[in-house]
Amino acid sequence: MINSALSTGTTYGWVCITSGTPGVWLPVGILSKDADKRNSGPTINRPVVTTIGFQYFDTTLGCAVWWNGSTWISGNSKRGVFITSGAGQSTITIPHGLSAIPTFTSVIAKSADAISAKVISWTENATQIVITVGTTAIGTNNLSYSWEASL
């Protein structure tokens, strides 16, 4: 059943969970005070909201942010594909863009030359993932790594 007098703070509708007369009905959803706000776009277009937990996908940052009642807080994971040129190096450095040292990281060699160089190990710091590899083949944009980092 849909609420025909929908307004801010009211229930969207109800669902019957037990038939009978009168039956048992439970409310479904509540219209948030900020339901009419834009939920994605660049940092500069973040809406003014009052609902704690309001989610906005920030296209400038490339991640979700949430309103905590006084400020926007960043999402806690990032991922991507990092492409670089091989020059016989034994380390590859990927900037992860998180606000602290990740508690979880994953790195997968994707290109033939990256697979050939073999990922030996990796470490994380507050700004980057440092991958230790075997010696890389020399080439232009021949090394590709899929990565993910989470706080």
Same domain? For 3 and 65 the reply is no
12 lies in the same domain as 66: no
106 and 123 inside one domain: yes
Q: Are 45 and 64 found together in one domain?
A: yes
Q: Would you place residue 75 in the very low, low, confident or very high pLDDT band (cuts 50, 70, 90)?
A: low
**pTM score:** 0.54
Q: Residue 27 has what pLDDT?
A: 64
The answer to whether residues 120 and 138 belong to one domain is: yes
For every residue of 39-103, DSSP letters joined together read -EE-GGGPPP--STT-EEEETTTTEEEEE-SSSEEE-SEEEEEEEE--SS-SEEEEE---SS--S
Regarding whether 44 and 13 lie in a shared domain, the answer is no
pLDDT in tens, 89-147: 999 999 998 888 887 899 999 999 999 999 999 999 999 999 999 999 999 999 999 99
Are the beta carbons of 128 and 137 closer than 8 angstroms? Answer: no
Q: Which of 21, 50, 74 is the last residue of a domain?
A: 74
Q: What is the pLDDT of residues 21-59, one digit of tens each?
A: 777 776 666 555 666 677 889 989 988 887 788 888 888
* Confidence grade of residue 71 (pLDDT, cut at 50, 70, 90): confident
Whole-number CA gyration radius for the chain: 24
